[in-house]
């Protein structure tokens, strides 16, 4: 929602507060026009009692790309902060897409792929911490641990003449281990499907369906099985998940055809198999990088800096990280900076671990004080801007995009599908309002081709401008 003082400016004529002038001064011409027309609609709707003016605006007036008067031509500078004496301390410095791109290049080219929990991720954390400190922030690393399950390999060999090894997949979170034993059919894996005398080290062959994989494997283990093979109930193979509780014995899935073949071999006499699952949980260490100028986080601006091991992660997500670091630079002179926290999240690719740990570490008072989290993930490539997040922030977010001159393909609120796959989700799940700024359709997503050469500085600029406008709407001072 628009700032209340502003709302009734139009009705009360020249009653223009110093606060409003200061407020207005922070806006570019485009955003001021957007805000004034929103105000006009808000005030008129206030008169008529209809509260959702911002939304009305978003549909009424489409927005255009490329009106951003940013210094995208600014030459890249070493690693010293851009020396630009702000004309007015109330105004943010000009966001530079080239500066954000410089960070993208350092992360994706100089450092390269930044696998979660790995040495390159640590190197990137040091770089980001250094950049925040260079721009005058108290910067620190927030280390955290998380448990990662990894299935490295598995094999299933029937010890019958002529029987080749059987294609299989470990059930996700299956216990690792190598067992050899007779195969015993056990129906769907219900308790009553196991022989009364138990299985004493045998490998249970059960069919998919009716029960969860967890229940089937737990029942088999309780009956004394050393391992479990679950065969599909429709043609082909499948991947099954046991959930984080995992299992105490190795368990794999196979195709229906192979299940039927094993059952056939069993019918003609005893059958023994060797099941070998190389998998297990490991504790990984990672870190968030947190920068703040004051002692509170009214608005958290963040993005993850790790990447998948498959590629250098320029767009996913050195682009968002570069924008976060550049936002920290441009917002530093503004008094409001004392209410902002900038966070580069580690280990997002393995399950949003950095943002989950960050949110878990917030005290109740910190949660109460937080009015928004702004998440930037994949903002340097792609076709259209998409905004996702908390319904309560849809108005300010769309208005900010308008002010930044971005054509936005709508706002997907909490009820709508999609948009859950990034760090804002950790905040929303904890009841904290968040917005996800994103560009759709990157052809190089999670591939070796996700390179800095494809990252467009003008898009980084627009993402930065959307965030600057949004902060200006959410934080006064
Ligand atoms: Zn990402």
- Report d(CA 229, CA 7) in Å as an integer: 66
Q: Average pLDDT of the chain?
A: 84
Residue 39 scores a pLDDT above 60: no
Q: Report the CATH number of the 149-282 domain.
A: 3.50.30.30
Cα of 472 from ligand 1 centre, angstroms = 25
Look at residues 118, 62, 100, 132 and name the one whose alpha carbon lies nearest to residue 401.
Answer: 62
Q: Which one of 2.60.40.1480, 3.40.630.10, 3.40.50.720, 3.90.380.10 gives the CATH number of domain 97-137+293-474?
A: 3.40.630.10
Q: Is the peptide bond before 365 cis (omega within 30 degrees of 0)?
A: no
**How remote is the CA of residue 149 from the centroid of ligand 1, in Å?**
20
Specify whether the backbone of 200 is left (phi greater than 0), alpha (psi in -120 to 50) or beta.
left
**Ligand 1 mean position to 278 CA, how many Å?**
29
- Distance from the CA of 401 to the center of ligand 1, in angstroms? 20
Q: What DSSP string describes 93-137? A: PPP-HHHHHHHHHIIIIII---BTTSHHHHHHHHHHHHHHHHTT-
221 Cβ partners below 8 Å, 6+ apart?
228, 247, 248, 249
| Ligand 1 geometric centre to CA of 459 (Å) | 16
CA atoms within 13 Å, Cβ hemisphere of 290:
23
Is 40 a residue whose pLDDT tops 50? no
Instruction: Count the Cβ atoms, other than its own, within 10 Å of residue 377.
Output: 25
Q: Are 61 and 37 in contact (CB under 8 A)?
A: yes
Q: Where are the domains of the chain?
A: 2-59, 97-137+293-474, 149-282
Instruction: Give the C-alpha separation, 327 to 292, whole Å.
Output: 12
309's tokens:
């091991």
- Count the neighbouring beta carbons within 10 Å of the beta carbon of residue 299: 22
Q: Taking 70 as the threshold, does the pLDDT of residue 456 lie above it?
A: yes
Residue entry with tokens 């550049």: 326
For 65-120, how does the pLDDT look when each residue is reduced to its tens digit (9 = 90+)?
333 333 344 444 444 444 444 455 566 778 999 999 999 999 999 999 999 999 99
Global model pTM greater than 0.85? no
422 alpha carbon to ligand 1 midpoint, in Å? Answer: 6
> pLDDT at residue 173 above 80?
yes
Express each pLDDT in 368-394 by its tens digit: 999 999 999 999 999 899 999 999 999
Q: How many angstroms does the Cα of residue 304 sit away from the middle of ligand 1?
A: 7
């Amino acid at each position: 929602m628009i700032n209340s003082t502003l709302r009734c400016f139009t009705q009360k004529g020249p009653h223009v507060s110093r606060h409003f002038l200061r407020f207005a001064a922070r806006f570019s011409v485009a955003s001021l026009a957007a805000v004034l027309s929103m105000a006009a609609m808000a005030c008129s709707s206030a008169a008529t009692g209809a509260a959702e003016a911002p939304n009305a605006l978003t549909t009424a007036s489409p927005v255009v790309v490329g009106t951003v008067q940013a210094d995208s031509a600014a030459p890249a500078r070493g690693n010293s902060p851009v020396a630009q004496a702000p004309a007015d301390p109330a105004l943010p410095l000009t966001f530079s897409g080239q500066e954000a791109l410089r960070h993208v290049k350092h992360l994706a080219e100089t450092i390269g792929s930044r696998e979660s929990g790995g040495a390159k991720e640590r190197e990137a954390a040091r770089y980001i911490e250094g950049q925040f400190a260079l721009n005058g922030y108290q910067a620190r690393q927030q280390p955290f641990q998380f448990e990662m399950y990894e299935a490295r390999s598995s094999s299933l060999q029937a010890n019958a003449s002529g029987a080749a090894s059987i294609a299989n997949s470990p059930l996700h979170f299956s216990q690792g281990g190598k067992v050899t034993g007779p195969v015993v059919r056990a129906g769907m894996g219900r308790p009553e499907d196991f022989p009364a005398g138990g299985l004493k080290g045998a490998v249970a062959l059960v069919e998919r369906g009716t029960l969860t994989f967890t229940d089937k494997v737990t029942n088999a283990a309780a009956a004394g099985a050393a391992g479990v093979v679950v065969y599909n109930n429709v043609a082909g193979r499948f991947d099954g998940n046991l959930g984080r509780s995992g299992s105490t014995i190795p368990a794999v899935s196979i195709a229906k055809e192979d299940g039927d073949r094993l059952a056939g071999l069993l019918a003609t006499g005893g059958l023994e198999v060797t099941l070998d699952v190389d998998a297990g949980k490991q504790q990984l260490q990672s870190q968030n990088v947190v920068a703040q100028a004051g002692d509170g986080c009214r608005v958290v601006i963040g993005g993850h800096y790790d990447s998948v091991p498959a590629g250098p992660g320029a767009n996913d997500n050195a682009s968002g990280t570069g924008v976060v670091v550049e936002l920290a630079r441009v917002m530093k002179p503004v008094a409001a900076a004392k209410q902002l926290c900038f966070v580069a999240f580690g280990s997002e690719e393995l399950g949003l671990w950095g943002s989950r740990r960050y949110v878990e570490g917030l005290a109740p008072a910190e949660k109460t004080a937080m009015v928004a989290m702004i998440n930037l993930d994949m903002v340097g490539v792609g076709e259209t801007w998409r905004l996702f997040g908390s319904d309560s922030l849809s108005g300010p977010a769309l208005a900010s995009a308008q002010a930044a001159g971005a054509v936005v393909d709508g706002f997907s609120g909490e009820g709508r599908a999609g948009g859950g796959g990034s760090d804002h989700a950790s905040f929303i799940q904890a009841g904290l309002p968040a917005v996800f700024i994103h560009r759709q359709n990157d052809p190089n997503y999670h591939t070796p081709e996700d390179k800095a050469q494809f990252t467009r500085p003008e898009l980084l600029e627009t993402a930065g401008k959307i965030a600057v406008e949004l902060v200006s709407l959410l934080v006064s001072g």
